[in-house]
Amino acid sequence: NAGVTQTPKFQVLKTGQSMTLQCAQDMNHNSMYWYRQDPGMGLRLIYYSASEGTTDKGEVPNGYNVSRLNKREFSLRLESAAPSQTSVYFCASSDQQGYEQYFGPGTRLTVT
Amino acid sequence: EDQVTQSPEALRLQEGESSSLNCSYTVSGLRGLFWYRQDPGKGPEFLFTLYSAGEEKEKERLKATLTKKESFLHITAPKPEDSATYLCAVRNNAGNMLTFGGGTRLMVKP
């Protein structure tokens, strides 16, 4: 049981480049989430998917898009990266919306 | 708007020196308060969920308690391996998302 996995672990982008962060869970959870974590700002929700086929905006969705590919996979896309998107990105999943969430190891993204 | 404030921001303890971390919250209808541990370079690891005032949960040297306005994470006789950042989060009655506090960085010296 791998839990929540994320790829890549590290990424450096130039301003304006695009990329997709991948997330998969093997716990048969219904809900999945994308957060960013910045020093002094804590964890902030970008987007979430309450169930397969649905997605909703969180606290800081601007500049991001998501896709719930199937029950296991939830991707986060940066269409045109900006230095303000330099952060650590975490994916999480839960059995039901709002219940305890289980986090992946994170992706450290630097935009220059 | 839900708010979670954790204090102190950082706490240095000697091994064996018990202490408490505080999580103060304002939320429109609490439907769960969550404690996580986060080690450097890793994702948060779930510890406890508390649902109602007066509830307590324990795991090894950690005990979490809940009142109507705050939660405490009590650490009894900590060891260096307890060093980590501890995060608190709340879920409101809309149930859509968790709101996290900024965390308390705990350092336990041998």
In angstroms, what separates the C-alpha of A14 from chain B's closest C-alpha? 23
B33 touches chain A (CB under 8 A): no
> CB distance B97–A100 less than 8 Å?
no
> Between chain A and chain B, how many beta carbons pairs sit less than 8 Å apart?
56
Query: Residue A19 — pLDDT band, cuts 50, 70, 90?
Result: very high
Q: Are A29 and A52 in contact (CB under 8 A)?
A: no
> How far apart, in Å, are the Cα atoms of B54 and each of B4, B87, B92?
19, 20, 18
Report the alpha-carbon angle B89-B91-B97, nearest 5: 95
Give the model confidence (pLDDT) of B41-87 as tens digits: 999 999 999 999 999 999 999 999 999 999 999 999 999 999 999 99
Q: Which residues contact A80 (CB under 8 A, 6 or more apart)?
A: A16, A17, A18, A63
As a whole number, the mean pLDDT across chain A is 94
Q: Are B7 and B25 in contact (CB under 8 A)?
A: no
Side chain identity at residue A106, one-letter code: G
Within chain B, what is the greatest distance between any pair of CA atoms? 44
Provide the pLDDT for residue A108. Answer: 97
Give the model confidence (pLDDT) of A67-95 as tens digits: 999 999 999 999 999 999 999 999 999 98
B57 touches chain A (CB under 8 A): no
In angstroms, what separates the C-alpha of A41 from chain B's closest C-alpha? 6
Across the interface, which of A56, A58, A105 has its CB nearest the CB of B42? A105
Query: Measuring CA to CA, which residue among B95, B100, B104 is closest to residue B21?
Result: B104
B37 touches chain A (CB under 8 A): no
What is the rounded distance in angstroms from the CA atom of residue B74 to the CA atom of residue B1?
27
Provide the pLDDT for residue A98. Answer: 62
